[in-house]
A and B are shown apart, each in its own frame.
Chain A
């Protein structure tokens, strides 16, 4: 495959007047990595994250091969493909979650706002604040709802007063669509919530530190259709502020929530395109066979 999946339609048209070259510095979320608001990537249509020829090995096994992909601001990018195709592996590379797996080697280049996230001087903890992750199974801390949200801002020293923390907790829960359901029981344990509420709590926890990119690894696979619909609605709202990359086995979900979709097969990206194009007239035969259920 020689196709270049890093090109995005319209990305070459840069509206220079929309770029604020000297934006105000917000120390609250500056972790000494690149400043998130240094460039308005959405305004100029540049990728928020960029994967260039990324390959991942688990020991001898090649899990992802030469994957090139852009993650644009304010978009939901869905990664689809059969089990073991490398989509979750690539997702986990985006905030270096694979660092903890023995024998995992990542080659190629992944950048966040043009900075190499695998550079030797990159600190992983601030990176994971900027690129948050929501997992398949809701995993709230065994603490109350308030502390679930407050823990990360507190650890990273993002707040200086109780009032400020209260505001972050309320704001995060509101944006996760959970505030009205839990506002009177913030001292209740996070693990006592329903599965769907727990997952929204995890999303609230992720956005409490104001990330730029949110990674979601099958966030609804353990949820019922109602809870799934609430998460999908939430994803649609969060897109206005963040870039979201979602791995899902549900093609319906990919079609519903994403603007672009990438299809993986045997560690390779077979096709990336606008979601509508992928699901109505895919260019590649393999994609067609996968989405129509005529695979294998």
Chain B
């Protein structure tokens, strides 16, 4: 199945669906960019970049409001059914998940801002390997889920859902490494908590990306894949 916007007898409806689709793609692109820049700011301890990301979070929120408005208008005017209904519903939820990915990216930038704008800490000593590895995986999964949405690719969406398990494992490994580091070094507690929160933010980004992939499957097939909540790392974050 591919997106085609010249199917309906009422052409205006096609135009509205197309506009919504491109709005989501644009929002996805912005959110991915926010995430990549946030990781860049973590890696380079770039405070200026971190503040830019925090400022631009407002644009992501505005895009969510705009997409929500479009969804409401379509529901009110067109009363969509069948695949149209599924498209509008899943798009609405995807927008919501994108906004949350944007929130998490801004959260990363906030921690960069917090950790490196205080002189009291040892933030520079913390190992970044795990965070960057987790960041690479979460941005990849987010990219893949948006590709699946763009191409309405059910197979890719299912791969993304599976890929999320890997991210969970990376999250747990990262936590264990950090605990080892904290036991060995006399580290600043607030910086340590920030590190944990950053890892958690990246893990959540993976969770939202997984949700986007599930919604693509719902859009295509009308049934949502089973939720893997029992596998989610947040339930047992320190389990080996």
Classify chain A: how many residues form its interface, as a range.
Answer: 10 to 19
B85, A280: Cβ atoms under 8 Å? yes
B180 at the interface (CB under 8 A from A): no
Judge whether A291 is part of the interface by a CB distance below 8 angstroms. Answer: yes
A296 / chain B contacts, CB cutoff of 8 Å: 9
- In the bound assembly, the distance between CA atoms of A296 and B8 in angstroms comes to 9
Residue of B nearest to A295 (CB): B9
Q: How far is the CB of B66 from chain A (nearest CB, A)?
A: 24
Q: Considering the chains assembled together, what is the distance between the CA atoms of A292 and B13 in angstroms?
A: 10
Interface size on B, residues (CB 8 A): 16
Chain A residue at minimum C-beta to C-beta distance from B89: A280
Report whether over half of chain B's contact residues are helix, strand or loop; otherwise say mixed.
Answer: loop
Could you tell me the distance between the alpha carbons of A281 and B81 in the complex, rounded to whole angstroms? 8
8 Å CB interface, A273-295 against B: 279-282, 287-288, 291-295
Say whether B83 contacts A292, CB under 8 Å: yes
Contacts of B76 in A (CB 8 A): none
Whether A234 is near chain B, meaning CB under 8 Å from some CB there, is: no
Interface: A227 (CB within 8 A): no
B80 within 8 A of A: yes
Flag whether B16 is at the interface (Cβ < 8 A).
no
Question: Which residues of chain B have C-beta atoms less than 8 A from A292's C-beta?
Answer: 7-8, 80-84
- Chain B residues with Cβ below 8 Å from A252 are 79
Q: Determine how close the nearest CB of chain B comes to the CB of A260; give it in whole angstroms.
A: 16
B122 to chain A, nearest CB (A): 55
Q: Which residues of chain A are near B222, meaning CB under 8 Å?
A: 280-281
A135–B102 alpha-carbon span in the complex (Å): 56
Q: Smallest distance from the beta carbon of A108 to chain B beta carbons, Å?
A: 30
Give chain B nearest CB distance to A18 CB in angstroms.
33
B223 contacts A255, C-beta separation under 8 Å: no
List, in ascending order, chain B residues with CB within 8 A of A293's CB: 8-10, 13
Chain B residues whose C-beta falls within 8 Å of the C-beta of A288 in the assembled complex: 82-83
Pick the contact of A280 from B10, B79, B86 — CB < 8 Å? B86
Chain B residues 208-238 with CB under 8 Å of chain A are: 221-223
Closest A residue to B78 using CB positions: A293
Complex Cα distance, B87 from A288, in Å, reads 13
Does A223 sit at the interface, judged by CB under 8 A? Answer: no
Set of chain A residues within 8 Å of B9, measured between Cβ atoms: 293-296
Interface 1/0 per residue, B83-96 and A, CB below 8 Å: 11110000000000
Which residues of A are interface residues toward B (Cβ below 8 A)?
A: 251-252, 255, 279-282, 287-288, 291-296
What are 19 A-B pairs with beta-carbon distances under 8 A?
Answer: A251-B79, A251-B81, A255-B81, A279-B85, A280-B222, A281-B222, A281-B223, A282-B82, A288-B82, A288-B83, A291-B82, A292-B7, A292-B80, A292-B82, A292-B83, A293-B9, A293-B10, A293-B13, A295-B9
